[in-house]
Structure 1
Amino acid sequence: MNGLRFFWLVAASVSCAAGAHAFSLDGEKTVSLVDQQGDLHPVADVVFSPEENGSTYEIEWRDDAFADHFLSMRPFKCLEGADKHWCRVPYPYEIRRMVSDDDLTDLEYDLLFVWKGSSEYGINLWNGVYYKLESQDGRLTGTLHEMDMDKLGVPPEAGNLRPIRGADLEEGYPESHWLPGLVIE
């Protein structure tokens, strides 16, 4: 059995035994990337503050988890793996940073990455990583989707706060990636 599938199976069993509950969009949580073996790599903390129509949030990245890289003439913060590096891509346009139980899109935009081979000099934005979030067993889990981030090179029309469409995302193959999952708990 694939290590990642085993991890998710065990996690689901434990939370089901304890009684399933919804994720709370309130207070401080840890953002971790999940590797093939199911090991968690904490990369950020997020603080949710409830408001009338959902919660606002602030992310504080754990810079000590990342190494500094200068790739394709730009600075990046990257998690270094044996075969691949996972580099943060700050979303460059206006965002509300507001989420609700039904809409986690803003947070998804703030958790963009791009991967590169560990021995590659530059970075290719078509290797974009988008984690599609859902509430599951009292936490948020992110499923890896691939996207061409060159699309973000052109600013969206004024007022368009959601330029990434479902058609821009392709479900990724977890077996082919170092960090195929994301967990917020």
Structure 2
Amino acid sequence: MKTAVFWSLFFLSGVYTGSAFAFSLGGEKTVNLVDQNGERHQVATIVFDSAGKDITYSIDWHEEAFADHFLSMRPFKCFEGPDKYWCRVPYPYEIRRSVSKQDFTDLEYDLLFVWKGSNEYGVNLWNGIYYKLAEQDNQLVGTLHEMDMDKLGVPPEAGDLRPVGETDLEAGDPDSHWLPRLVIE
């Protein structure tokens, strides 16, 4: 009986992590955009640093994977596909670049894109791409959500480092997008 009580308390206490978060938030990882055929396109490297009390990160974009475009009177770095381009949108406001096993918001803000047709001249900010990250199979997997990036045209109120809310995101249809997933491994 004492053994059963011990194991019950052990599992409930959170000490056991066998089924808990398996992705390591430490060291160097690769960022891949994944197309509809499952092919991975490496576009960046992330270094997670858990030396302090917070887990911070830095991103090194693989610039050779992106082409320079001047769209809607602004320079963009775009990952070119046959029919669509995925253009990086640097988050324009203050960001901590800190994550936890429960909160990847800062990293999601650093992985913003806007898509455009390959034969279109400009870019429409209502074609924003936001990858919501979750741990899956020892990776961070970003599920495509659509958003109107015009929301980012107005600075958030002082102290609001998280202006994009759930109501600003709409789950994207993976069949209608060239790069429906993002994987960090």
Q: Which of structures 1 and 2 has the bigger CA Rg?
A: 2
Q: Compute the displacement of 1:54 (Å).
A: 3.7
Read off the aligned partner of 1:80 and give its amino acid letter: E
> What whole-Å deviation, never above 9, does each CA across 1:64-115 have from its counterpart, x for those lacking one?
0000000000000001111100000000000000000010000000000000
Q: Compute the displacement of 1:51 (Å).
A: 4.2
Aligned to 2:184: 184
Question: What does 1:28-177 align with in structure 2 at a 5 Å threshold?
Answer: 28-177=28-177
Query: What is the alpha-carbon distance in structure 2 between the residues aligned to residue 62 and residue 126 of structure 1?
Result: 26
Query: What is the alpha-carbon distance in structure 2 between the residues aligned to residue 156 and residue 47 of structure 1?
Result: 28
Aligned to 1:16: none
The TM-score with structure 2 as length reference comes to 0.88
> What whole-Å deviation, never above 9, does each CA across 1:30-77 have from its counterpart, x for those lacking one?
000000000000000000000454410000000000000000000000
Q: Please list every run of 5 or more consecutive structure 1 residues that lacks an aligned counterpart in the other structure.
A: 1-18
Query: What is the alpha-carbon distance in structure 1 between the residues aligned to residue 161 and residue 97 of structure 2?
Result: 11
Query: What is the alpha-carbon distance in structure 2 between the residues aligned to residue 101 and residue 136 of structure 1?
Result: 12
For the aligned residue pairs, the C-alpha RMSD in angstroms reads 1.3
Query: What is the alpha-carbon distance in structure 2 between the residues aligned to residue 155 and residue 62 of structure 1?
Result: 28
Q: Given that residues 21 and 135 in structure 2 are in contact (C-alpha distance below 8 angstroms), is that contact kept between their aligned partners in structure 1?
A: no
The TM-score with structure 1 as length reference comes to 0.88
Read off the aligned partner of 2:103 and give its amino acid letter: D
Query: What is the alpha-carbon distance in structure 2 between the residues aligned to residue 53 and residue 40 of structure 1?
Result: 33
Q: Secondary structure at the match of 1:152?
A: helix
Q: Secondary structure at the match of 2:50?
A: strand
Q: Given that residues 21 and 137 in structure 1 are in contact (C-alpha distance below 8 angstroms), is that contact kept between their aligned partners in structure 2?
A: no
Q: Compute the displacement of 1:20 (Å).
A: 8.9
The sequence identity of aligned pairs, in percent, is: 72
Q: Compute the displacement of 1:123 (Å).
A: 0.2
Q: Please list every run of 5 or more consecutive structure 2 residues that lacks an aligned counterpart in the other structure.
A: 1-18
Query: What is the alpha-carbon distance in structure 2 between the residues aligned to residue 136 and residue 184 of structure 1?
Result: 10
